[in-house]
Structure 1
């Protein structure tokens, strides 16, 4: 598994798996929890070690139990979860502490590799106190890395007034429908690693172009997207319930796109 270095010196896998529909009826985000984590078990068996969940996914506990019981040492995994930007979780410092402790309990772990603020907290004082508690837990070594999700450049600049630890990751939308190029360039310039959610959302027209690019490599349009993102420094967390597709996503690590093909994809709209 390829890894990249974060601004705190730790390394994170360049490719992982999302989990927002795992353990749910009809593999639906809003489906009732049904305890079926076979898709995550399959991903782990294939070699996925970056596992991305969130409190709002409602499946932290199921993800934690699956990782705990898989027979692979905890230190081989990079577990990510996220705190929602609402009073239920970020009203005050004690509430944030309780939220983090619940995540640790749900994930059945002594530490969390990456804890993100799931969406911008528009109240600056609430954002400040949430970040200060996250920094506190880094100091306790209960969280290894802290970051944000769906933050704009302006949101990140706002944090400079109070953050003593710079965000290491910003998890954002990035796919052919919206590459988010300007934000990604800003993040990379400032040593904040971009991570793409929904990396394979694409139109049929996009898929046709990407399929043609992939033919000389013997790769699919989806593998081309993932390779493109990784080559430009973006961590990707595709998600599939199908073991064959999970394996194919991992196989995007096995080739390199030419500079010419990277430029073609740069201009894909």
Structure 2
């Protein structure tokens, strides 16, 4: 595994696994929860240590139970979860504290590695209150890093107007169909690490080129696409329910894309 050093000095794995359909019937986001989560068990067995969760996925408790019962020591795990922008969670500082405390309980841990605001909060007062609670838990050591998700440039500017602690990451959609180049440039300038959700998305003609590039490295087009993101400093959180695909998505550190191939992918 390779790691990126966040702007507060914390190291985060460059590859993690998403969990938004884990432990759900038919692997569907809105489906009922099951009591088992084999996809996470196989991910842990394969070596995944960065686990990306969220309150709105409804499966924090199940994910947390599996992590707590696994043989992987807590200090080797990097647990991320997210607080939604719903009134239930951001109507007051007390509501936000309750949300964080409940996540800590769900994960059976006394700290989270990364906590994100899941979506932009339009009300500036609520945004400030929410972030101040994040900072409070960060200063207390209950959060090792804090950040945001799905924030655009103007959302970051609103946050930076009062934030004492700069967000460590911004988790956004980054793939070949939604490259988000302008926002990536802003994040690089601000020293905020980009985390890509949906990193595997690509059109058919793009996949053909990725497959062609992969042949010379004896890698799949999907591996080439993930490597492209990692090689330019973008953290990826691909998700799969298939053990072979999980293994493939982690097998990215025995090759380096040439500058020519990096440019070719960038121009797709």
Give TM class, smaller chain: over 0.9
Task: Give the C-alpha shift of residue 104 in structure 1.
Answer: 0.4
Give the structure 1 partner of residue 13 of structure 2: 13
Aligned to 1:224, the other structure's residue is in SS state helix
C-alpha RMSD of the superposition: 0.7
Q: 2-side partners of 1:24 and 1:41: how far apart?
A: 14
Partner of 2:243: 243
Show the counterpart of 2:133.
133
- Describe the SS at the equivalent of 2:113: strand
Deviation at 1:253, TM superposition (A): 2.3
How far the C-alpha of 1:60 sits from its partner, in A, is: 0.5
Give per-residue Cα distances to partners, 1:49-97, cap 9 Å, x unaligned: 0000000000100111111011111000000000000101100000000
For residues 22 and 29 of structure 2, the distance between their equivalents in structure 1, rounded to whole angstroms, comes to: 8
Q: Distance in 2 between matches of 1:166 and 1:35?
A: 38
Paired with 2:174 and 2:35, the residues of 1 have a C-alpha distance of: 30
Please give the alpha-carbon distance, in whole angstroms, between the structure 1 residues aligned to 2:96 and 2:230. Answer: 33
Q: Distance in 2 between matches of 1:161 and 1:190?
A: 13
| Aligned mates of 1:195, 1:77 — CA distance in 2 | 17
Whole-angstrom CA distance in 2 between matches of 1:261 and 1:206 = 13
Deviations along 1:103-138, one digit per CA (max 9) or x if unpaired, are: 000111110000000000011110000000000001
Tell me, what secondary structure is at the counterpart of 1:255?
Answer: coil
Question: Runs ≥4 in structure 1, deviation > 2 angstroms?
Answer: none
Residue 27 of structure 2 is aligned to residue 27 of structure 1: yes
Q: Aligned equivalents of 1:35 and 1:243: distance in 2?
A: 19
Tell me the number of residue pairs that the alignment of Structure 1 and Structure 2 aligns.
268
User: What per-residue deviation string (whole Å, max 9, x for no partner) do you get for residues 34-61 of structure 1?
Assistant: 1221100000000000000000000100
- Report what 2:258 is aligned to: 258
Question: Aligned-pair distance for 1:201?
Answer: 1.2
Q: Which residue of 1 aligns with 2:229?
A: 229
Tell me the equivalent position of 1:4. 4
Deviation at 1:254, TM superposition (A): 2.1
SS of the residue 1:96 aligns to: helix
* TM-score calculated relative to the size of structure 2: 0.99
* 3-state SS in 2 of match to 1:136: helix
- Aligned partners of 2:183 and 2:256: how far apart in 1? 24
1:32-71 map, 5 Å: 32-71=32-71
How many angstroms apart in 2 are the aligned matches of 1:266 and 1:29? 31
CA distance in 1 between counterparts of 2:247 and 2:97 reads 38
In the alignment, is residue 162 of structure 1 matched against residue 162 of structure 2? yes
